[in-house]
Structure formats: structure tokens, C-alpha cells
Amino acid sequence: MPLTPEARSLLDMAYRVGAPRFHELSVAQARRSFQKLHFAFRGEAPPVASTAEVPIARADGSAMLARLYRPLGSRTGETLPLLIWFHGGGWCVGDVASHDVLCRELANASGCAVLSVDYRLAPEHPFPAGGDDARLAFDWSVAQADVLGVDPTRIALGGDSAGGNLSIVTALALREAGGVQPRFLLLIYPSTEILSARPSRTRFDDGYFLDRGTLEWFFARYLPNGETEDWRASPMRAASLAGLPPMLLIGAEFDPLIDDCAAFAARVQAEGGDIEFEEVAGVIHGFFTLGKYFPEARAGVLRAARALREHLAVRADPAA
């Protein structure tokens, strides 16, 4: 189908005459631009039962911050399943604040607690810092499950774009390590490989928001030493994708990454994995977090919440 009216209008705004392109911005400008987009077009922040700012200690003595959401209707002392969420933004931009509304929506709609993680960003902290932080968030959540009020056997990993990449990479590392495993992966147009020659990379390389220049801007800052073939950057380069948790992968039709997402889903299925792949028609990369603007975002949150309830054994009515 053609672009939806909302997608067309957003692209017209993004590519208006005289406006700087994303890849022409400094890192500080790019971060401000990303925040402005989300604050302008995300939905209204719904109330939740509680939020808590959570520091997670690293081995070097520094702390990674995260925000814990407990869904509306959850009871004090109730043990909940947990979604650990890694925000998108090309490993370079975005934070807990930019994805606050989405995490509130996912918590309320799914009945799960959500832990949104402020992992380290490039270029200050290039690869593999983001992946190291993602693994730390999972291990810490398992160890501190009683404090968080969550069930360590019912943890999902999820994220959009770069955050989806971190979810897959963390699941692969945990598979190799053994021990407690995530029960489910929620992947929103994830980056599955850095270098790709699939047709959508060319078909949507200019004028569709996540253009070629923007991808190259992200990759150059996240991978300054060119680690494009490392599976921790490109999980499609992993020797095997077997043995991963069940997954829901939601892609966007007009996204340069859509063919990579489809190829990843096909390979998981061919290697015996359980994956549902859904391509949302007429929309662009980034739609999922812009719920004020895209009705498809609101529908996507409900679809994701149904999958979380199913795979994490949440009671049928999370608001009851």
C-alpha cells in the first residue's frame, strides 16, 4: 500500500526545504532533535501504579540508571513478570525519558512490570558498551527480582531499532552462558546486521526518515573500529540462531531495515525457532513510539501486549 497520510505528512516535515538532515547534525543536536520528535508526537503519559528510579551498579563502580514501571491495577507486594526495555536511537541517541510514554503503555496493556534501561551511548561509549549494559540489566534483574517484585523466570527482553538489536544480542549471549533465560523477545524493527545489500536498503535509502546518511552516521559512531561482522553488532552473523526464546518481530513497510527483519525472521524459523513476523503497512521506521501521530502505533502496543501476556502467563485482565 502507499504511505499512510500520517507517514507522508511526517516525511514532508522532516524533509522540508532548508531543514538540516539528521546526519548533518552534531551528536548534541541529534539528541535534541530526537527528543523533540518524541515529545511532540508521542501520546499522553498514562498513569501507572508506580515508577521508581533504579541504579544498577557496574563492576567499575559507576551506575547505570533504569526506571521501573508497575502497571495500573497491580497490587502492592504482587510478583509480576518483567519486560526489560532497551530504547531505540541508533545506539547514539534516546533515553528513558524519550520512551517513557511507550513503557507506561506497555506496562498497563500487558500487566507486566517494565524496566527501561539507560544504557551507555556512543560515541562516548562505543561498541560493545551498550550490549554489556544490556546483559548487566538482565543479570541484575534476575539477582534482584525480590527487590523489584518480579518473577525471574518470567522475564522478556524488548526494544525498538537499536534496542531490538540489543535484545537479540543479549539473548544470544545468555543462550551461550546457560542459566536463567529470557522467556520472550519483543522486537520492533530491530537492526539485525550492519552491512546489508538487501533491496530495501536501496529502495528506501533516501526520503524515508531512516535514510542512508543517518544509518552511516549511527554506524560510524557506534562502531568506530569497524566491527560490522561481529555478531554482537550484527546478530545475523551468529553461527546459529537456534535455541532463542519465542519472538514477536514488528516491522514497518517503508523501512530500509524491513528486508533484513524479514530475513532474520526466516532464518530463525528455518533453524527451528518460534517467531511471529508482522509487517505494518504504510508506515516508516520509528512509528511505534509516536502514538499521538500514528494509529498503527497504538494498535502495535496492544499487539505487543497480547504477546507479552501470552508468553509471560499474565492474568487475562491486567487491570482487574
Catalytic (active site) residue 141:
no
pLDDT at residue 319 greater than cutoff 90 = no
pLDDT per residue as tens digits for the range 66-121 = 999 999 999 989 999 999 999 999 999 999 999 999 999 999 999 999 999 999 99
pLDDT at residue 18 greater than cutoff 90 = no
Sheet arrangement for strand 80-86 = 50-57, 63-70, 113-117, 80-86, 150-160, 184-188, 247-254, 275-284
pLDDT at residue 320 greater than cutoff 60 = no
Instruction: Quote the cell numbers at residue 99.
Output: 520512551
13 or 87: which leads in pLDDT = 87
Helix (H) or strand (E) holding 283: strand 275-284
Catalytic (active site) residue 33:
no
pLDDT at residue 313 in the model = 86
pLDDT at residue 316 in the model = 58
Catalytic (active site) residue 167:
no
Q: Specify the pTM.
A: 0.97
Domain 5-311 carries which CATH code? 3.40.50.1820
pLDDT per residue as tens digits for the range 180-224 = 999 999 999 999 999 999 999 999 999 999 999 999 999 999 999
Give me the catalytic one of 110, 116, 141, 161.
161
Give me the catalytic one of 211, 230, 255, 259.
255
User: b/e per residue, 278-314, with b = 16+ CB within 10 A?
Assistant: ebbebbbbbbbbbbebbebbeebbebbbebbbebbeb
Give me the catalytic one of 38, 87, 285, 311.
285
